[in-house]
Each structure stands twice: as structure tokens, then as C-alpha cells.
Amino acid sequence: MRNDTIGAADYRTIFAISLPSVKTPEMKFFHSKNKQEPKIEKEKRGLFSRLTRTREGVFGGMLGLFKSGKLSPEILEQIEDQLLVADLGVAVSQKIIERLKNEASKGKLTNPNEARAILRAVMIELVADCEKEEPSLYSDRPLVVLMVGVNGVGKTTTLAKLAARYTNANIPVMLAACDTFRAAAIEQLQTWGDRLQVPVIAQSHGADAAAVAFDAYTAAAARGSQILLVDTAGRQHTHGDLVEQLKKVKRVMKKANPEIPDEVWLTVDAGNGQNVLSQVAHFDEAVGLTGLCITKLDGTAKGGVIFALADRFGLPVRFIGVGEGEADLRPFHAEEFVDALLPEIGEDAE
Ligand SMILES: Nc1nc2c(ncn2[C@@H]2O[C@H](COP(=O)(O)OP(=O)(O)OP(=O)(O)O)[C@@H](O)[C@H]2O)c(=O)[nH]1
Ligand SMILES: [Mg+2]
């Protein structure tokens, strides 16, 4: 039976993904194009297979350390080393160690299963506040998301994955090619636009990025787009001119509508480890961040950096990138993420 028109709530249930709600008195309807959207179990399995490096490289071995049922100082030291390898950072690693010691002193840590349960609880606690509802859409103007970050972290790819995600839910998207700095950046975005059949507003290489952003918002509002995703040039946060240009993009956007951008998302590469902490601090100071996208979790054993970020900044983790394809983007769910990092006992931990 064909069922092309389904309500947003039904859509969420059927496809088990959280989509943004729409700020409108009347109900918005999403049309399903993609009947093959993964169910939550499939998504979970997918995530599990993508986080193999951090899970097997770090947490599997670590749970094995609890086999003796004793938490000697040497074992605690090895556990801390493993946590540091996964890039949870010193502060978070020490918090976890303290918790383990505390539970051990109550006699609650006598085997790997108990260790897993305690680790799971403490890790979920650490990142629970980073899981947030997706921002609501507006009925009368596009939601504007400004994507920022240093070179090569995956901003443009993440933006394209987001465009695919919204397009699949029949939410009209527009892209703004505001990376006018790097040669070929505009073409890269246009290629994605062609592939996803999403309009791209662009000028030529070297054009004023702020002017492109202004035009793109005007076009998106005129054409009834519900989301405008703005690509920007990869810049080192220490590169003063480019940071100023980014601030200008934000300022000029506000001339089109003082409320925009609604969201400023910093993309960081999980493989960059603790360096991402200074990236977040600098970009937050320069343009005010409302969320993070954490990419390349599939290619690194440093997936623990999310815990360090949560501990230090507490910013929402909007999405995680687990591959190069357009479907390799997941909303961040604390429990699902931790479950994908911790092997079941009798599996990798043996
Ligand atoms: N394995 C993996 N690769 C990714 C992921 N996200 C992005 N990439 C790859 O990272 C590389 C850089 O991605 P871009 O999206 O061009 O990065 P960018 O931040 O826009 O780069 P600049 O515009 O040069 O600053 C590309 O080869 C992407 O395919 C991810 O989640 N996993
Ligand atoms: Mg780019």
C-alpha cells in the first residue's frame, strides 16, 4: 500500500530518526522518498561497526583488565593509560578512575561485567547533556546553519550529508558556497548540489563570502527553503584575516535578518585528538558556537575526545560523521554512542 504522505510524528516512528519539529501552528507533513531508511537497530549495528577502532583498540583491551577482579594500582594505571589513548583527556580519565575506585571500595567491581556496567553508566552521564533535539524549523523563513571549522575536518562533506538527510525527508534545502577562498571549493559544493539535486548559491572564486551569504539567505527565503546550510572556508583559528572574514559573514547575514544565523556548528575531526579543544575555544570566542559535528570517528581510535569536549564545553553534539558517504552521518545519542564503544563481555574483552 502506498503511503506517501505521513505526519512528522509517524515519520519519526517509522524511520526511527529524530527530525526537527516545525515552528508552525499548522501541522507540517513530510513525504517519504526513501522507504529503505534504516531502522534504529540497523543504525545501531552500523554505528557499532564504524567505531571499531576505538572500541577494539581501547575499550576491549581495557575491559579485559578487570578479569582478575582486583583493581590494583598497576591495573588502574593501565586503565588510565588506555583512556588517555582514546583521548578522553586527563580530567575525564581521572573522573572515571575515581569512580571505579569508589565502586571497587564498595565491593561492586569484581568482574568485567560489573566494570562494563559502571563504565557505561559513567560514560553516558558524561555525554548525556550533549544530546539535544534537532533545532526546530520555521514556517515562514529558512533555518540558517553556519558551518565552521579548520581545514580539511569535513565541513563540506558534513554539510552535504545534512542536505541529503533533509532532502530524504522532503525538507527543502539550499546551500551557500561561502568558501570563496580555496580553489575548487565552490565546484566541490556544486558537485554535491547536483548529486543531491539541491540548489547552491555561489559566486566566483575570491568573491566576498559575506555577500554570498546575504544573497543565499534572500534566495532561500524567496524560494521557500526550510534550511540554508552555509559552507565556509577552512581556516586555522589562529589565522586572523580569515577569522575576521567569518565574523563579517555573520554580521552581514544579520542585515538580511537580525535573527540569523540560527545555528553555528563547528566541525571537528575526532582524529585531531586534544587539539580540538583549542579549536572549540577559539571558534566559540570568535563566532559563538551552538553545536558540534564530530567527524571521522570511523578512522580513529581517538573517539573518546567527545568525552573531553563534553566535560570542558558541554556544547550539543549535533551529528557524528562515521564515513565518507552521504549516509554516514548520525545524530548523536549518548547511550547508543557509548554502547558502540564498549564491547559486550565475552566479545572483544575476552
Ligand atoms: N572517513 C571519513 N572521512 C570523512 C568524514 N567526513 C569527511 N571526511 C573526508 O575528509 C576529507 C575532507 O573533507 P571536506 O568536507 O572537504 O573537509 P572541509 O573541512 O570542508 O575542508 P576545507 O574546505 O578544505 O577546509 C574528505 O576526503 C572527506 O571525504 C568522516 O566522517 N569519515
Ligand atoms: Mg570545505
pTM of the predicted model, to two decimals?
0.88
232: CA distance to ligand 1 center in Å?
13
C-beta of residue 287 within 8 angstroms of C-beta of residue 247: yes
Going by C-alpha positions, the residue among 132, 120, 127 that lies closest to residue 341 is 120
Mind listing the pLDDT tens digit for each residue in 109-145? 888 888 899 999 999 999 999 999 999 999 999 999 9
Pick the ligand that lies closest to the CA of residue 329. 1
Burial class of residue 214 (count of CB atoms within 10 Å of its CB; 0-12, 13-18, 19+): buried
Determine which residue's CA is closest to atom 1 belonging to ligand 1.
Answer: 323
Task: Give, for all 350 residues of the chain, the pLDDT tens digit.
Answer: 333 333 333 333 333 344 555 554 333 333 333 444 445 555 556 888 899 988 888 888 888 888 877 888 899 999 999 999 999 999 999 999 999 999 988 888 888 888 899 999 999 999 999 999 999 999 999 999 999 999 999 999 999 999 999 999 999 999 999 999 998 999 999 999 999 999 999 999 999 999 999 999 999 999 999 999 999 998 776 667 888 999 999 999 999 999 999 999 999 999 998 899 999 999 999 999 999 999 999 999 899 999 999 999 999 999 999 999 999 999 999 999 999 999 887 654 44
Pocket of ligand 1 (CB under 6 A): 149, 151-157, 179, 182, 185, 234, 295-296, 298-299, 321-324, 328
**For cell 562533506, what's the residue?**
157
Residue to mutate (ligand 1; options 324, 326, 328, 330; most atoms within 8 A of CB): 324
Determine which residue's CA is closest to atom 10 belonging to ligand 1.
Answer: 154
Of ligand 1's listed atoms, the one at least distance from the Cα of 157 is 15
Task: Give the pLDDT confidence score for residue 263 in this predicted structure.
Answer: 98
The beta strand positions in the chain, using DSSP E, are 5-7, 22-23, 29-31, 137-138, 143-148, 173-178, 200-201, 227-232, 263-269, 291-295, 317-321, 329-331
Task: Give the pLDDT confidence score for residue 340 in this predicted structure.
Answer: 93
Residues 100 and 342: their CA atoms lie apart, in Å, by 16
List beta partners, residue 263: 145
155: CA distance to ligand 1 center in Å?
6
Task: Give the pLDDT confidence score for residue 9 in this predicted structure.
Answer: 36
Determine which residue's CA is closest to atom 4 belonging to ligand 1.
Answer: 324
